[in-house]
Structure 1
Amino acid sequence: MRHPHRPPEAVLRRTHMLLLLLSLLSLLLLLAACGRGSGDGQANDSEGAADSTAVAEPDEPDRDDESDGDDKEEAAVPVEVVALQTGPIESVLRATSTLEAETRVRVIAEASRRLVELLVEEGDTVKRGQLLARLQDAEQLSALAKARTLFEQAEREWERQELLKEKGLTTDREYNDALASLEQRRIDVADADREFSYTRVQATIAGTVTQRFVRLGDQVNPGSELFEIIDFTSLVARIYVPEQALGKLQAQQTARIYAPAVRSEPFAARVDRVAPIVDARTGTIKVTVDIGGQPGLRPGLYVDVELVTAREEAAVLVPKRALLYENARTFVFRIRDGRARRVEVRPVMSDVGSVRPLDGFAVGDSIVVAGQATLKDDALVEVVTRDGEPDS
C-alpha cells in the first residue's frame, strides 16, 4: 500500500512567507484607513470653527445696511426756473446782400469831339436833362446856322408860290418843287440841330453823379463813357432764399435792413417782388427788397436782411436757453409737484431768444432754464434763484 505524497519543505516555507506578506499588507491598509478618518475629523472641526465665526459676525454693526439706507433717500437737484409768459414773436428769414440801384445809367458820347467844358463833378446831384459837359461845337453851330438860313429861303419861296397859285400865275410843277424844297430844308435843320445836340452832354435821369470817366481836353468818340449817374431813391437788396420758403413769400412783406457800417438800428424796407421761378441749380428764389432813399445807405454797401414772414402779438413763449436737443427732437423740463417732467417742444415760430410751441404749454408753467443738462425725467428738484439760494 502506497502513502500519500507530502509537499517538500521548501514549498511550505514559501507558503508561510506569502501568508505573512498578505497579513502585513492588510495591516498597512487598515492603518491608512484610520489616518484618513482622523484628517476628515480635523477638517470638520475647522469648518465648524469657521461656521461659529460666521455666526458671530452679525453681532458687529452692518455698515452696508447703513449705506443702503442712505441711497434710498433721493437727493433734490437744484434748478433755476422761469414762468412762461406771452409776448410778441416773429418768424424771420435772414440773408445777406449788397445794395444795388435799380435806376443807374452810364452817360456816353454820341459824337467824335474834344471835351471843352465840364459842368459837374462826382457827388453832384443833377436833374434829368441837366447839362453835364460840352464838346467842341464850332462846326456844328456853323452847319446849323446854314441849314436854318436855307430853310428860311425855302420857306419864303414856298409862300411866294402859294400866292402865285392863288392868282393862277404858276404851274403845279413849280409849286410842288417849292414845297419839296421846303420839306428838305426842314429835314436839314433837324439833322444839323441833332448833330449840335451831340456836343451837349445831358443827364438822362435825375440822380447823383457817382463817377466821371473823362478829363477836360480829352478826345471822345461815339460810345465813350463820360459819367455814371445813380438814383439813390431806387436802392434795393436782392436776396436768395431756399425754395422751401416759397409759400411764405409775397410782395409788400415787411423787411428790415441792417447796415453795421452806418448804424446799429435797422432800416425799414419791404418786399418789392418775388421771382416767378426757382433757380434749378441752387434751389433758391430771388427776392427783391425795396429800400428807397434813406440817409447813409449807398450802392455797394454790405447789409443783413430780415424778412418778416409771420407775427403774433400774444404768443406763449419758451426761452431758448431752456431747450434740450436729442435726435432732431426738442425737449424742456417742466416742474410739477416738485419734480421735473420732460416735455417735447414742437416749435412753429422762432426768434433770437424764444420759440413759440405748437401746443402743450400754458402761461405760468415753470420751465427749467438752468441745471437741466443732468436732469432725468421725474427727478426731484429744488428751485433756486440765480444766486444759488433756495427760492422762497
Structure 2
Amino acid sequence: MNKMKRRGVLALSFAGLLGLGFYAWSANRSEAPAPAPGQKAAAPAAQAAPARPVAVEVATVLAVDFADDTTAVGTLKAAESVVLRPEVSGRITRIGFRDGALVNKGDLLIAFDATIPDAELAQAQANRDLALASFKRNQELLEKKFISPQALDASAATLKVQEAAVQLAAAKAAKMRIQAPFRGIVGLRDVSVGSYIKEGEALVNIEDVSSLRVDFRLAETWLERVKAGQSLELGSDALPGQRFVAKVEAIDPQIDPNGRSIAVRARLDNAAGQLRPGMFVRLRLAFGERKGVLMVPEEAIMPGAKPAVFKVVDGKAERVVVRTGIRRDAQVEIVDGLAAGDVVVSAGQLKLRPGAPVTVPGAKAPEGAQGKP
C-alpha cells in the first residue's frame, strides 16, 4: 500500500512540473510581438550592435633628412707613454731634467753611481788591447815560421773573448745611465740625488703628447661602415665649444662577446698641446647625409619575433610587419613596410585587434560626420 502511495505522489509531482513549464513557455511567447506580414524577424541584440571604436593615439610616418652618424665616448692616451725604471740597483748621482720639461730622445735623465762598472770596463778594454797586440805579433811570427798556425788561432780566440768582455762591461756601465727613449714631456719625479733606488723601482714617467690616441667602442652593427682613415669629431668638457678632428687608425678584429661591440682606435694631432692624456672626450662619426628616411616614434613599434605596427586604414587598425633601421631621439627608422604619410598607432595597441575600429580622442571629425563615432 505504501509503495502505491509513493508512486502516486511522484506522478502528481512530475505532472505539476510539466504544467508549470508549459505555462512559462506560453507566457513568454505571448509577450513577444509577432512580426508583421512581409517583415523579417529582428536579429539578436548582440548581432545588431556595432563594435565600439577603440580610443588610441596616432602618429604620421614622416620622411626626414638627417646626418647618418653615431656617437661614442673615450679617453685620450699619449701616442707614446712609459714609466722609466732602472734595470740595476744603485745610488743616484745626477738628475738631468726639470719636472714637466720637454726632453729629446737620448737626453740623459738620471745617472747612477757607475764607479765599479766604469772600472770593469776599463779593465776589459786593457785586456782586449793586450790580446790584440799579442794576436798581431803572432801573425808576424807565423809569417817567419817561428810559431805554428795553432798558436795564432789560440791568440785570435783570446782576442774575441776579450772583445766580448769589453761589450759586457760596456753594457753594464750603460745601464747606470737612463736616457729618454723618445721626445716627450717628463712627469713629476719623487727621487733626488743621493737616493738609493732598487731594481725596477719607478723613477719618472715620460709622455709624447704631440699626438694623442683615443680608444672607444661601437656597436657591432657599425662594423661594416667604420673604416681605417675615416675622420671623426671630438670635444671635451674641459674645453667647451672647441672641436678637434681625429682619424680612425685601427679596428680590433675581435668583437667583444659580452657587449657585442668593437674596439676602435683613432689618432689626432696635438701640436698645440691643448689636450692632455687622460681627458674624457665625446666623439661623433659621420657617415654622410641621408634623405627621405621614414621615421616613426619608438612607441609605435610592437616587439616580437618580427617588429610590427598598427596602421590606421579607413578608420580601422591594420597590423603591418615592418623592417626597422637605426634609432635616434626616440624615433625609429622604417626600412620597409610603410610609406610617408601613413598613420600608425603610437599608444593603445594592447587593446587592438586587426580590423578593429579606432578613434582618436580630440581629433576633429570631418564635415558631414557629426554624430558618427
Show structure 2 runs of 5+ residues with no match: 1-61, 303-308, 310-322, 342-359, 368-373
Alignment gaps of 5+ in structure 1: 1-83, 332-345, 363-372, 381-392
The CA deviation at 1:296 is 1.0
How far 1:222 moved relative to its partner?
2.2
Question: Cα offset for 1:85?
Answer: 12
Partner amino acid, structure 2, of 1:146 = Q
Residue identity over aligned pairs, in percent, reads 23
> Hey, what's the Cα distance between the residues in 1 that align with 2:194 and 2:361?
79
Do the aligned partners of 2:297 and 2:332 also contact (CA within 8 Å) in 1? no
RMSD of the alignment, in Å? 3.6
CA deviations over 1:216-257 (Å, ceiling 9, x no partner): 211122222222122224422211222233233222222111
The 5-angstrom pairing of residues 18-57 of structure 1 reads: none
In structure 2, the CA distance between the partners of 1:177 and 1:377, relative to structure 1 (3 Å rule), is farther
Aligned to 1:192: 169
Higher helix share: 1
How far is the alpha carbon of 1:325 from its aligned partner?
A: 6.4
Match of 1:129 in 2: 106
Equivalent in the alignment of 1:297: 275
Change (3 A) 1:357 1:146: same
Deviation at 1:292, TM superposition (A): 3.4
- Contact 2:325/2:332 (8 A) holds in 1: yes
8 Å contact 1:108–1:225 — kept in the other structure?
A: yes
Residue in structure 2 matched with residue 327 of structure 1 by the alignment = 300
Q: Bigger shift: 114-123 or 240-249?
A: 240-249
Matched residue type, 1:126: V
Give the deviation of 1:214 after TM superposition: 2.5
Partner residue, 2:221:
244
1:253 aligns with 2:230: yes
Letter in 2 for 1:237: V
Tell me which of 273, 297, 307 is aligned to 2:285: 307
Is structure 2 residue 254 aligned with structure 1 residue 267? no
One-letter code of the match for 1:327? A
Post-superposition offset of 1:326: 4.6
TM-fit CA distance, 1:97: 1.5
**Matched positions, count:** 269
Are 2:363 and 1:376 aligned? Answer: yes
Structure 1 counterpart of 2:175, which letter? Y
Of structures 1 and 2, the larger Rg is shown by 1
Q: Alpha-carbon deviation of 1:299? A: 0.8
- Structure 1 residue identity aligned to 2:288: R
- Give the deviation of 1:360 after TM superposition: 6.0
Distance 1:244 1:194 in 2: 53
Distance (whole Å) between structure 1 residues aligned to residue 70 and residue 170 of structure 2 = 55
> Which moves more between the two structures, 104-113 or 243-252?
243-252
Spell out the pairing of 1:59-70 with structure 2 (5 A cutoff): none
Question: Whole-Å Cα distance in 2 between the matches of residues 292 and 324 of structure 1?
Answer: 40
So what's the TM-score if we normalise by structure 2?
0.62
- What is the CA-CA distance between 1:268 and the residue it aligns to? 0.3
- Using the TM superposition, give the Cα deviation of residue 328 of structure 1 relative to its aligned residue in structure 2, in angstroms: 3.3
- The TM-score normalised by the length of structure 1 is 0.59
Equivalent of 1:277 in 244, 254, 268: 254
